[in-house]
Structure 1
């Protein structure tokens, strides 16, 4: 638990205890108020624990979905790139041959300055 969280918890406990001790109530009313506050804090802790568990479950489900979909997606993209290379390489060779043919068939052009 971080220092800030410990400080908040300590402050809440001290504040609640001070409020109960210095409250203008009878002892019975003060004890009942204290019991009610403890029950409220207990309920709050249970709610927080449940929400935290839901967040953990959601994170695990997200991780499982990511593991299931991301790897096949990347593999698909890599396959598409390879297919493109396979299709582009012969065309690039044809273009290179045409450039060489043009260069050999055209007379050299004088460079004007």
Structure 2
């Protein structure tokens, strides 16, 4: 444990002890207040842990859902791209042939030297 952590812990203990010793309440009332505060903090800790567990479960469910849908989605996109390329390549070849035919049939223009 680092020096800072030890200092914080020591300060908390000294502060709590001082508060108990110099409190304007009676010892019984101070002890009851202390017990009530501990119970409140315990309840808060339990609530926090419950919410954290719910968050973890939600995150795991989200991850499972993503794993279930993302890979098939990517596979589908890749298949669509392959299908497009399969259909587009013959058409591009036909267009290139037409361009070459048009260029061969155009009269040659004289070049200026």
Smaller-chain TM-score bracket: 0.7 to 0.9
In structure 1, the residue matched to 2:70 is 70
Rounded Cα–Cα distance in structure 1 between residues aligned with 2:58 and 2:15? 35
Q: Root-mean-square deviation (CA), in Å?
A: 2.6
- CA, structure 1 residues 42+16, in 2 after alignment: closer, same or farther (shift >3 Å)? farther
In structure 2, the residue matched to 1:3 is none
TM-score, normalised by the number of residues in structure 2: 0.82
Of structures 1 and 2, the one scoring higher in RCO (CA 8 A, sep 6+) is 1
Deviation at 1:112, TM superposition (A): 6.3
Q: Which runs of 4+ in 1 moved over 6 A?
A: none
Count of aligned residue pairs for this structure pair = 107
Rounded Cα–Cα distance in structure 1 between residues aligned with 2:78 and 2:86? 12
- CA, structure 1 residues 102+48, in 2 after alignment: closer, same or farther (shift >3 Å)? same
TM-score, normalised by the number of residues in structure 1: 0.82
5+ residue gaps, structure 1: 1-5
